[in-house]
Amino acid sequence: MRFLVNFEVFPHVFERAGVLDLRRQVGEAMQRIIATGKVESSGIRLGRRGGYMVVDINSPAEFLDLTGELVDYVRFDFEPLISFEELGAYFQKFGEA
């Protein structure tokens, strides 16, 4: 199942040493997550301390396993996605409005 995952760093990480450590951890985690082949798209969200990923996973728990220790520093929001083709099939099955 495809999910849009938005993430943002908790506001309590603001001291220089903490920011540098967080950058290192996020960079390592993103490389690890992208290397799984489950990330279709990713990037940062300008104006925020965070980013997004479109991932193809079976459950949010699977993603939690991929992110590891980031849950201590980053808030994740998940939104399930469907394609326009899947939406069209839904309309065919249940009737168009």
pLDDT computed for residue 36 by the predictor: 92
Examine the pLDDT at 16 and tell me if it is beyond 90.
no
Q: Which residue has the tokens 């520093």?
A: 73
Confidence of residue 96 (pLDDT cuts 50, 70, 90): low
Q: Which pTM was predicted?
A: 0.80
Digit-coded pLDDT (tens) for 69-79:
788 888 999 89
Q: At 90, is the secondary structure helix, strand, or coil?
A: helix
Q: What are phi and psi of 93, to 5 degrees?
A: -75, -40
Q: How many domains does the chain have?
A: 1
Domain of 7: which CATH number?
Answer: 3.30.70.1060
* Range(s) of the domain holding residue 59: 2-94
For every residue of 5-73, DSSP letters joined together read EEEEE-TT--SHHHHHHHHHHHHHHHHHHHHTT-EEEEEE-TTSSEEEEEEE-S-HHHHHHHHGGGGGT
